[in-house]
């Protein structure tokens, strides 16, 4: 096979990898300016995003298409066991991962220019993104777990890369230990599945799910694998690490973790658990239709229960938080529960709804954490009460943040409403047992409004307490010695936040351009492609 | 044919965005926006002397209807469908009148004028959207779009307890909205409609079993009743009114309460007829309690604004009673009452606002005999109060008369209940006028000025509307009765 033939479908991955290596080389060569490495990273991520969009058919740019149309959504021949394939749902997720990385990379331009290690930061960001791109292509369990590991290793370092901040170091350590445990569990689960089925290929696993001579072994394998992936996806009760890590990490890294890397867990759950769930659907259509310890029903019921518990616990704990980042972290946990509804139901509309929810979450949660970064740069403290008066001091920032919170709460005119509407109506459409998932989701959205409204009240209604550093440059330390542009926020952050806010409203008003491709991708995904 | 409703929507949207961005020119942009809106709506209104007007289109029974695909789900089509009929047209006219009156009245708003006028325009945009939306999701979208600007209007500008009031308003109405949305979507899903369009839902939903309809109607009724507001879900209203700036109160009483009434007529009564019939005892009970409670509690209020707020509960109770009658006369009365109450309560809230910043208080016993010092203000208060208690030749009279007539037709001697309460309503208005307007001056500082011109123009516009439609109610009645809602000749 020619070079082009080998690399052709992998253009986005190659671009990102090449940029990562280039950034590391520049570090060795001594060219460590943040603007330089940042520009290279942003260009690479944007280029990769364009290629992915072209492959999906979004852009009328045939020249950019790296993927032959025959490869897209091709089901591998029986007997072959490819490590990776190109499904359109995977490409959609790639696009979302790249979008998250792009937002974070743009915003990170505004980090203090004298901060050391800019090439390391961007290099690790690109490597983490590479791992995420590979997750989206995986069609083999081991390949999937290794790709997750690539991302994880890069993000462990990213969390602690400032080195001098004790909280960040503690967060990195915690993240690493939990991540190692999660990987161990995942690989152990995978090995049990290999023992039960004799294969780690996801197509093969999907085809034979349920028809196995060792049901307990398979159940154990899926269960332990679920625990491992649940850590990545921050499902309750495997969520506790996430709050401390999101809280302690640098704000941009929190944005990347919550808005970006967490979603590889979601897609991994799609890949691994669609098989058992589809087996149930073929057999009976209800989690209660099978015999006890029957694989499919048990898996489906577990996923549904996890979804409800995750939503509820995340929301209730978010209500109790006094610090902004911890509140956002818990809200992020509850949002993972919504996404899990999609895979628990396993129909293509439900998966489409969950994918749209992932897209919404990329915009609103990355955006919200980036607003936290911008607010910190102008001297706003970590507690929610410290945000008093932001509405009058920085009206545009406050309005953007309000849009993100309203979208998280699922208020109409935002993408968060559309995604929840599509997801919950898919649950109702699936009838029977699943209607209760929609009801639980709806009650949770109603509950979540309270803590978002509380933040809005603080920002817009309560006057700023006493004199505050009014303009950039007054805050030495947090904002760096030189005043940043865009009113102390920094141009990079301003652009990233602005783009996220505009997309939240634009997709909320007219979702069809995004929703249509996601629906057809989800249909392909359920029908056969892995 | 031009898609008129989307064009009006677009002009309103552009004007609203421009108002937010206009800085110190915001009031001029807001005035231009509202003037254009009023001209467009006035044109539409005048062109509908006969139904279905010159532009009957795709959706049966609705003029100016257009439909564009919006969200496609595998089992359901969500469209951007809009259109008007007589009921919505009257309420749209109300929206346009109130918008321009509010903008003029608030001309000298100094606290963040761009945001203030922008939020006023946004509220009117949302209300307009609610009145024209013919798709469940679109309707809900505009419904919530009213909530957010009103939340800020209450919470940022005036009273000392405004944050509490705004949060209370948000929580009450948001919970109600969720219940309403669940009710509407459950109606769609259970009825098997494949589109969220009003015509599709209204065609499919009556086929549901009466028992299911009963529960669905209750959910919708709750959702709309909080907006009405119906006792005992009314407690957000007095707080919100007292703390809101005058413009906020005007839109709250004039428009937001009408959303509840309109929603009940369009999305509950028409969609779930059997459920409505089963739940009518509850509707009547709620109506009678609200009528009596609102009136009697008004009698006890010392704060002028709070008194007007409770009188709104009384009036909206009569609207609910008229809707509950399930007759064409009752429906006519309900729409007339909503229009009348929208204009008159706006006038009264403006008067209360002017009283507040002229005399420094709204406490009725604290001031008296203001007529010699401020004759124009006293005239406005009197016009509002007399229209509200139903004096002939003012707009309140044809509305209340129709309502009582319809009640007599529908319920016989039970009409004595609202009729008796009407006496109480007259009593608290007349007592208020006696204490505040007449008699020896009390609490009137020396050298005060009468109504400033901008407030005078704003209120004067509403007085003119009150008199115009009081003398010529036929202008409204023709548009309503010729619309193809059940029971009207246009069907």
Amino acid B57: pLDDT? 45
Q: Is A453 on the interface with B (CB under 8 A)?
A: yes
pLDDT score, position A468:
53
Distance between B71 CA and the closest CA of chain A, angstroms = 6
Distance of CA A159 to the CA centre of its chain: 16
What separation, in Å, do the N-terminal and C-terminal C-alpha atoms of chain A show?
24
Nearest-by-Cβ selection for B163 from A418, A425, A461: A461
Report, as an integer, the average pLDDT of B424-435.
91
Which residue among B140, B167, B175 places its CB closest to the CB of A457?
Answer: B167
- List of chain A residues whose C-beta atoms are within 8 Å of the C-beta of residue B189: 425, 428-429
- Neighbouring C-alpha atoms within 13 Å toward the C-beta of A500: 41
Compare all CA atoms of chain A with the CA of B143 and give the residue at the minimum distance.
A412
Chain A CA closest to residue B170: A453
Q: A289-293, A434-438, B343-347 — which is least confidently predicted?
A: A289-293
Spatial separation of the C-alpha atoms in residues B267 and B284, rounded to whole Å: 18
Chain A residues closer than 8 Å to B166 by CB = 457, 461
Which residues does chain B have within 8 Å of residue A457's beta carbon, measured at their own beta carbons? 155, 163, 166-167
Cα dihedral sign for A259, A265, A268, A272? negative
Percentage, residues of chain B above pLDDT 90: 57
Gap from A316 CA to chain B (nearest CA, Å): 17
Give dist(CA B163, CA B155) in Å, integer: 5
Which residue in B119, B148, B243 has the most chain A C-beta atoms within 10 A of its own C-beta, making it the best mutation to test that interface?
B148
User: Is residue A292 predicted with pLDDT exceeding 90?
Assistant: no
Min mean pLDDT across A6-20, A176-190, A207-221 is at A207-221
Listed in sequence order, the residues at least 6 apart from B479 whose beta carbon sits closer than 8 Å to its beta carbon are B45, B48, B51, B86, B89, B90
Whether residue B56 is predicted with pLDDT greater than 50 in this model: the reply is no
- Token look-up 């609910």 returns B320
The 10 Å CB-count burial string (b at 16+, else e) for B243-272 is bbbbbbbbbbbbbbbbbbbbbbbbbbbbbb
Instruction: Domain count for chain A, please give it.
Output: 1
Place of tokens 């009564």: B269
* Whether A422 contacts chain B with CB within 8 A: yes
pLDDT of B93 reads 95
Higher pLDDT: A468 or A112? It is: A112
**B285-328: pLDDT as tens digits:** 999 999 999 999 998 999 999 999 999 999 999 999 999 998 88
| Nearest residue in chain A measured CA to CA from B187 | A428
Across the range A484-498, mean pLDDT stands at 84
CB-based contacts of A365, cutoff 8 Å, min separation 6: A255, A258, A259, A328, A331, A332, A335, A404, A408
Among chain B residues, CA nearest to A459: B156
Average pLDDT, chain B: 89
Q: How far apart are CA B447 and CA B98, in angstroms?
A: 31
Beta bridge partners of B68: B80
* Average pLDDT along chain A: 86
**pLDDT score recorded for residue A56:** 86
Q: Answer whether A413 touches B (CB < 8 Å).
A: yes
Q: How far apart are CA B327 and CA B488, in angstroms?
A: 9
Predicted local confidence at residue A288, as pLDDT: 57
B156–A460: do the CB atoms touch at under 8 Å?
A: yes
Q: Is A396 on the interface with B (CB under 8 A)?
A: no
Alpha-carbon dihedral of residues B412, B413, B419, B420, nearest 10 degrees? -160
The reported pLDDT for the residue numbered A430 is 82
Q: Residue holding tokens 């089925």?
A: A197
Q: Which residues of B touch A422 (CB under 8 A)?
A: 71, 73
Of the candidates B141, B145, B155, the beta carbon closest to that of A460 is on B155
A421 touches chain B (CB under 8 A): yes
Q: Judge: A418–B155 Cβ closer than 8 Å, yes or no.
A: no
Q: Pick the residue of B6, B71, B111, B179 with the most A CBs within 10 A to test the interface with A by mutation.
A: B71
pLDDT at A108 over 50: yes
- Cα–Cα distances in angstroms (integers) from residue A509 to residues A203, A413, A418, A426, B331, in the given order: 37, 6, 9, 20, 34
Q: How far is B155 from chain A (nearest CA, A)?
A: 6
Helix (H, G, I), strand (E, B) or coil at A450: helix
- How sure is the predictor about A82, in pLDDT bands with cuts at 50, 70 and 90? confident
Average pLDDT over residues B451-470: 93
pLDDT at B352: 94
Chain A positions touching B182 (Cβ under 8 A) are 442
Helix (H) or strand (E) segment spanning residue B79: strand B76-84
What are the strands, taking DSSP E only, across B2-75?
Answer: 63-73
**pLDDT: is B490 or A437 the higher one?**
A437
Q: Please, which residues bridge with residue B276 across strands? A: none
- CA nearest neighbour of B29 among B19, B14, B38: B19
Is residue A363 very low, low, confident or very high in pLDDT (cuts 50, 70, 90)? very high
| Residue A209 binned pLDDT confidence (cut-offs 50, 70, 90) | confident
Nearest CA in chain B to A454: B167
What number of residues does chain A have?
530
Q: Does B29 score more than 50 pLDDT?
A: yes
Domain-wise residue ranges, chain B? 4-481
The pair of structure tokens assigned to B77 is: 């089509």
| Residue pairs between chains A and B whose CB atoms are closer than 8 Å | 64
Asked if residue B253 lies in contact with residue B312, where contact means CB atoms within 8 angstroms, the answer is yes
Is residue B334 within 8 A of residue B261, CB to CB? The reply is: yes
Q: What is residue A483's predicted lDDT score, i.e. its pLDDT?
A: 52
* Confidence at residue A84, expressed as pLDDT on a 0 to 100 scale: 87
pLDDT tens digits for range B217-230: 999 999 999 998 99
Other CB atoms within a 10 A radius of the CB of residue B3 amount to 17
pLDDT of residue A283: 55
**For residue B341, what is the enclosing H or E element?**
helix B328-359
Q: Closest chain A residue to B154 measured between Cα atoms?
A: A461
Instruction: Specify the pLDDT at position A299.
Output: 86
pLDDT tens by residue, B108-163 = 888 889 999 999 999 999 999 999 999 999 999 999 889 889 998 998 888 888 88
Confidence band of B55 (pLDDT split at 50, 70, 90): very low
A408 touches B: beta carbon within 8 Å: no
Q: Where in B111-172 does DSSP place strands (E)?
A: none
Residue of B148, B162, B178 with shortest CB distance to A446: B178
Does residue B62 register a pLDDT over 90? no
Which chain A positions have a beta carbon within 8 Å of B69's beta carbon? 512
Question: Chain B residues with CB inside 8 Å of A516's CB?
Answer: 72
What would the mean pLDDT of B87-92 be, rounded to a whole number?
92
Q: Give the per-residue pLDDT at B52.
A: 45
Residue of A nearest to B156 (CA): A461
Contacts of A406 in chain B (CB under 8 A): 148
Distance, in Å, from the CA atom of A439 to the CA atom of B419, rounded to the nearest integer, reads: 44
Residues in B whose CB is inside 8 Å of some CB of A read 69-76, 137, 140-141, 144-145, 148, 152, 155-156, 162-163, 166-167, 170-171, 174-175, 178, 182, 185, 189
Give the pLDDT of residue A1: 43
Does A457 sit within 8 Å of B166, measured CB to CB? yes
Q: Is A477 strand, coil or helix? A: coil
DSSP per-residue letters across A244-305: HHHHHS-HHHHHHIIIIIHHHHHHHHHHHHHHHHHHHHHHTSSTTSS-TT-HHHHHHHHHHH
Quick one: which of A153, A109, A114, A110 has its CA closest to A132? A153
Tens of pLDDT, residue by residue over A12-48, are 999 999 999 999 999 999 888 888 999 999 999 999 9
CA-closest candidate to residue B480, choices B127, B129, B85: B85
Q: Would you state the structure tokens that stand for residue A128, as one six-digit string?
A: 């983490």
Strand partners for B419: none
A45 alpha-carbon distance from chain centroid:
16
Q: Which of A461, A494, A459, A454 is nearest to A386 (CA)?
A: A459
Q: What is the pLDDT of residues B163-194, one digit of tens each?
A: 889 988 988 888 899 899 889 988 998 888 88
The CA-based dihedral angle spanning residues B91, B97, B99, B102, taken in that order and rounded to the nearest 10 degrees: -130
Phi-psi region of A10 (alpha: psi -120 to 50; beta: other; left: phi over 0): alpha
Partners of A425 on chain B (C-beta within 8 Å) are: 73, 76, 185, 189
Q: What does the DSSP 8-state code read for residue B256?
A: I
Contact: B166, A446; criterion CB under 8 Å: no
Domain with A339 in it:
3-527
With an 8 Å Cβ cutoff, are B72 and A516 in contact? yes
By CA distance, what is B171's nearest residue in A? A450
Q: Is the dihedral of CA A384, A385, A391, A397 positive or negative?
A: negative
């Amino acid at each position: 096979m020619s070079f082009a033939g080998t690399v052709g479908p992998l253009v986005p991955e190659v671009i990102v990898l090449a940029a990562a290596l280039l950034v590391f080389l520049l570090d060795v060569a001594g060219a460590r300016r943040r603007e330089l490495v940042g520009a290279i990273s942003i260009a690479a991520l944007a280029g990769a995003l364009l290629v992915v969009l072209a492959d999906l058919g979004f852009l009328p740019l045939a020249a950019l298409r790296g993927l032959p149309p025959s490869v897209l959504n091709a089901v591998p021949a029986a007997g072959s066991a490819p490590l990776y394939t190109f499904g359109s749902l995977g490409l959609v997720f790639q696009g979302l991962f790249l979008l998250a990385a792009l937002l974070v990379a743009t915003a990170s331009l505004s980090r203090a220019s004298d901060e050391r290690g800019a090439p390391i930061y961007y290099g690790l960001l690109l490597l983490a993104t590479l791992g995420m791109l590979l997750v989206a292509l995986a069609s083999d369990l081991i390949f999937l777990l290794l790709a997750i590991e690539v991302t994880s290793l890069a993000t462990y370092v990213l969390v602690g890369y400032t080195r001098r901040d004790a909280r960040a170091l503690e967060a990195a350590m915690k993240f690493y230990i939990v991540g190692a445990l999660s990987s161990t569990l995942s690989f152990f689960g995978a090995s049990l599945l290999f023992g039960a089925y004799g294969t780690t290929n996801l197509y093969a696993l999907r085809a034979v799910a349920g028809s196995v001579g060792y049901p307990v072994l398979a159940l154990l394998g899926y269960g332990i694998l679920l625990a491992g992936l649940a850590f990545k996806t921050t499902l309750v009760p495997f969520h506790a690490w996430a709050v401390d890590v999101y809280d302690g990490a640098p704000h941009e890294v929190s944005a990347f973790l919550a808005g970006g890397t967490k979603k590889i867990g979601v897609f991994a759950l799609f890949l691994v658990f669609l098989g058992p769930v589809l087996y149930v659907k073929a057999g009976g259509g209800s989690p209660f239709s099978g015999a006890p310890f029957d694989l499919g029903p048990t898996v489906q019921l577990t996923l549904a229960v996890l979804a409800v518990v995750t939503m509820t616990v995340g929301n209730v704990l978010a209500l109790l938080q006094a610090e902004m980042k911890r509140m956002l972290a818990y809200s992020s946990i509850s949002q993972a529960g919504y996404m899990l509804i999609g895979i628990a139901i396993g129909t293509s509309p439900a998966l489409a709804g969950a994918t749209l929810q992932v897209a919404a979450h990329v915009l609103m949660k990355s955006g919200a954490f980036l607003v936290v970064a911008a607010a910190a740069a102008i001297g706003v403290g970590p507690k929610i009460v410290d945000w008093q008066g932001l509405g009058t001091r920085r009206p545009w920032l406050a309005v953007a943040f309000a849009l993100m919170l309203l979208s998280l709460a699922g208020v109409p005119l935002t993408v968060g409403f559309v995604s929840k509407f599509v997801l919950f109506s898919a649950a109702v459409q699936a009838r029977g047992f699943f209607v209760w998932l929609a009801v639980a989701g709806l009650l949770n959205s109603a509950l979540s409004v309270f803590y978002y409204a509380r933040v809005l009240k603080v920002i817009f209604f309560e006057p700023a307490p006493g004199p505050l550093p009014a303009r950039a440059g007054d805050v030495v330390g947090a904002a760096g010695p030189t005043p940043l542009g865009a009113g102390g926020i920094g141009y990079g952050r301003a652009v990233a936040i602005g783009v996220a806010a505009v997309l939240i409203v634009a997709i909320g008003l007219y979702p069809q351009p995004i929703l249509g491709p996601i629906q057809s991708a989800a249909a392909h995904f359920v029908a056969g492609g892995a | 044919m031009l898609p008129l409703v989307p064009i009006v929507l677009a002009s309103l949207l552009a004007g609203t965005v421009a108002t937010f961005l206009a800085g110190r020119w915001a009031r001029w942009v807001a005035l231009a926006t509202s003037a254009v809106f009023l001209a467009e709506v006035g044109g539409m209104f005048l062109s509908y002397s006969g139904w279905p007007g010159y532009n009957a289109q795709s959706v049966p029974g609705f003029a100016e209807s257009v439909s564009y695909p919006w969200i496609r789900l595998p089992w359901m089509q969500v469209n951007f469908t809009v259109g008007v009929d007589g009921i919505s047209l009257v309420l749209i006219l109300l929206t346009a009148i109130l918008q321009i009156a509010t903008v003029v009245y608030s001309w000298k708003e100094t606290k963040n004028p761009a945001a203030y006028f922008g939020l006023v325009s946004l509220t009117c945009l949302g209300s307009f959207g609610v009145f024209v939306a013919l798709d469940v999701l679109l309707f809900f979208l505009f419904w919530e779009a009213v909530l957010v600007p009103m939340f800020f209007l209450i919470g940022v500008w005036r009273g000392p307890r405004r944050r509490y009031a705004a949060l209370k308003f948000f929580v009450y109405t948001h919970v109600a909205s969720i219940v309403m949305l669940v009710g509407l979507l459950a109606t769609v899903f259970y009825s098997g409609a494949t589109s969220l369009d009003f015509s599709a839902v209204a065609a499919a939903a009556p086929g549901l079993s009466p028992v299911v309809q009963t529960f669905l109607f209750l959910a919708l009724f709750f959702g709309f009743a909080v907006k009405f507001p119906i006792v005992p879900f009314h407690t957000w209203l007095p707080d919100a009114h007292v703390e809101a700036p005058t413009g906020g109160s005007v839109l709250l009483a004039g428009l937001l309460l009408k959303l509840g009434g309109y929603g009940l007529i369009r999305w509950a009564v028409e969609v779930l007829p059997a459920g409505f019939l089963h739940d009518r005892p509850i509707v009547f009970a709620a109506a009678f309690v609200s009528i009596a409670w609102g009136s009697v509690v008004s009698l006890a209020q010392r704060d002028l604004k709070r008194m007007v707020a409770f009188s709104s509960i009384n009036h909206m109770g009569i609207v609910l009673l008229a809707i509950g009658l399930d007759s064409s006369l009752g429906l006519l009365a309900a729409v007339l009452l909503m229009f009348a109450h929208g204009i008159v309560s706006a006038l009264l809230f403006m008067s209360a606002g002017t009283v507040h910043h002229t005399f420094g208080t709204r406490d009725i016993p604290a001031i008296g005999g203001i007529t010699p010092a401020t004759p124009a203000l006293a005239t406005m208060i009197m016009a509002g109060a007399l229209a509200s208690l139903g004096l002939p030749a003012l707009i309140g009279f044809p509305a209340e008369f129709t309502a009582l007539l319809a009640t007599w037709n529908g319920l016989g001697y039970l009409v004595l209940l609202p009729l008796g309460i009407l006496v109480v309503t007259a009593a608290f208005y007349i007592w208020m006028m006696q204490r505040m307007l007449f008699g020896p001056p009390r609490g009137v500082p020396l050298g005060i000025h009468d109504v400033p011109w901008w407030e005078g123009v704003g209120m004067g516009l509403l007085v003119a509307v009150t008199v115009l439609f009081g003398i010529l109610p036929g202008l409204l009645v023709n548009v309503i009765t010729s619309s193809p809602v059940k029971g009207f000749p246009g069907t």
